[in-house]
Amino acid sequence: MRIDIITVLPKMFDGPLNQSILQRAQDAGVVEINIHNLRDFSTHKQKSVDDYQYGGGAGMVLMIEPISNCIEALQKEASYDEIIYLTPDGVLLDQGAANKLSTLSNLILLCGHYKGIDERVRQHLVTKEISIGDYVLSGGELAAAVLTDSIVRLLPGAISDETSALTDSFQDGLLAPPVYTRPAEYKGMKVPDILLSGHEANIDKWRHDQAEKRTADRRPDLRE
């Protein structure tokens, strides 16, 4: 898979994309992630990428021209399945959406900033709009990093034990059951006996029951 991220703040991706599973997936060639600085596609002397909004009002708006230039340059290198704009008024990201996106080959993620982006970008260039939650972030960068992580961890070869992404919360409409590790007892707090029993079928059933209970307690909406 190839993911191209367009941003005015490329440094924001230094941390999140270069650790743990995301870094290993890139090292293993499972995914290629490229960060593009929108300013590099500005034709203005000052490399500006935003301007005042027509009709007046506070806040700068990202211009269509550099975004269009960047997308056109990328489309000369690859054919993209989706051009995704991260925005709080997009469709809410969930596990099903991440699963679907993980089956695609090439994605562009466009991060908004300031007051937003020129509406013509959304109407004519973007193919999908995604929100990571009902709250407003300062820009689309953190949302793009979250979306990238949710997709890349699902790619074959990204996680050494492939089954572990399939047993994540939400994959079967259930939250994940509790997990424990050593010691078996800490300051009087004990690991449930069943997990120490070695009886695989009983353990599987216990885990499933716990997942059902946790989901009913915390997220009954997932079962509807």
Residue 164: Cβ-neighbour burial (10 angstroms; 0-12, 13-18, 19+):
exposed
**Range in contact with ligand ADE (rule: CB under 6 A) among 34-42, 82-90, 98-106, 198-206:** 82-90
Residues near 6 by Cβ (< 8 Å), separated by ≥ 6?
A: 36, 38, 67, 70, 71, 108, 109, 110, 111
Q: At its nearest, how many Å lie between ligand ADE and the CB of residue 73?
A: 23
Q: For the packed helices 20-27 and 141-152, what is the interaxial angle rounded to 10 degrees?
A: 60
**Range in contact with ligand ADE (rule: CB under 6 A) among 9-17, 54-62, 81-89, 173-181:** 81-89
For tokens 């078996």, the residue is: 184
10 Å Cβ neighbour count for 87? 22
Q: At its nearest, how many Å lie between ligand ADE and the CB of residue 111?
A: 8
Q: Which of 7, 102, 106, 131 binds ligand ADE (CB under 6 A)?
A: 131
Contact call for residue 87 and ligand ADE (CB under 6 A): yes
Q: Which of 33, 107, 143, 159 binds ligand ADE (CB under 6 A)?
A: 143
Query: What is the distance between the alpha carbons of residues 41 and 206, in angstroms, rounded to a whole number?
Result: 56
Q: Which of 28, 73, 91, 136 binds ligand ADE (CB under 6 A)?
A: 136
Residues 80/110, Cβ–Cβ less than 8 Å: no
**Range in contact with ligand ADE (rule: CB under 6 A) among 6-14, 32-40, 130-138, 179-187:** 130-138
10 Å Cβ neighbour count for 165? 17
Query: What is the distance between the alpha carbons of residues 14 and 186, in angstroms, rounded to a whole number?
Result: 38
Give the residue nearest to ligand ADE (CB). 143
Q: Which amino acid is at 176?
A: A
For residue 30, the 8-state DSSP code is: S
Residue 11 or 44 with smaller CB distance to ligand ADE: 11
Residue 88 or 177 with smaller CB distance to ligand ADE: 88
Q: At its nearest, how many Å lie between ligand ADE and the CB of residue 80?
A: 19
**Range in contact with ligand ADE (rule: CB under 6 A) among 56-64, 84-92, 205-213, 216-224:** 84-92
Residues forming the site for ligand ADE (CB under 6 A): 86-88, 112, 131-133, 135-137, 140, 143
